[in-house]
Amino acid sequence: MKKANEIFDLSGKVAVITGGSRGLGAEMARAFAAHGADLVIASRKLENCQILADEIAAETGAKCVPSAYHAGNWDDGERLADLAYEAFGRVDVLVNNAGMSPLYENLASVTEALYDKVLDVNLRGPFRLSALVGERMAAAEGGSIINVSSVAAVRPTPNELPYGMAKSGVHALTLGLARAYSPKVRANCIMPGPFLTDISKAWDLEAFKQNAEATIPLARGGEPDEVVGAALYFASAASSYTTGAILKIDGGSAWQPA
C-alpha cells in the first residue's frame, strides 16, 4: 500500500490551469507545484500569470510557463493546448477554472452580449479545451480533467442565472468527458460554494458573515487554500477509480433550504 505522500505525488506530471493567476486557480497551481508538477498558468492577463509563475518557480523549482488565455475565444483553446505540448510534450492534468459572473440589474436587463459572454467563458471554453487536450491524453498515457463549477449550478439565484445555467452545463460536460475519453482519462468536477478570494473584496463582508452564520452549516465562507485537498485528490493517483464525480466544497450550503 502506498503512503499518503506517494498517492498525492505529481512528480513528472504537467498541469494546465486556466484562471490560474489568482484565487482558487493560483492555490491549485501552488499545490500542484509543491507536489512535483510543472505548470502552464493561463489567464487573460499574461503579466499576472508571469508574476505567479516566477513566484512558484522560485519557491518550488517547478518549471512554470505563463500564457495569456481567454476562455471565451474559441481559437485560444487550440493555442493554449499547442503551447503546453510544445513546452512539455505532454499534459497530465487540465483544470478548467476560468470563469466569470457579471452583475446585472434584473433578468430582463440581461443583454444578448452579456448572456453570450457568460456562456462562452464558463461553458464553451471548457468544452473546447477539454476536447483538444482530452483527445491527446487519451491517445497517450491518459490524464485527469478537472472542471470547476459552482453551487449556482444546483441552486441558482436570480442574480447569477446565466452563470448558474453555464455551470450546470459544466456538470453535464464532466459526465460526458468521463465517458468520451475513458478508460485512460478521468474527468471530475469541483463545485465550490462562496470562497473568500479576490472577488470577495467587492462583497459587503459583514452582511455575508451574518448570512453565512444563518445559512451555511459551517457558518463561514471558504478560504482559498481549502480547495487544495479536492484539487490534489482529482489530479493525483488518489482518485484513480474516480471519474464523472462532482465534489461540492461549500461548507454544506448547496442543499440547504433557500
Active site residues: 163
Give the bridge partners for 16, in sequence order: 40, 94
Q: 93 near 38, Cβ under 8 Å?
A: no
Kindly report the backbone phi and psi dihedral angles of residue 68, in degrees, each rounded to the nearest multiple of 5, phi listed first. Answer: -70, 140
Burial of 38 (0-12, 13-18, 19+ CB in 10 A): buried
φ, ψ dihedrals at 148, nearest 5°: -120, 120
Give dist(CA 25, CA 18) in Å, integer.
7
- The Cα–Cα gap between 146 and 236 comes to 11
Question: CA angle, 132 as apex, 130 and 134 as ends, to 5°?
Answer: 55
Torsion angle of alpha carbons 200, 97, 232, 30, nearest 10°?
Answer: -70
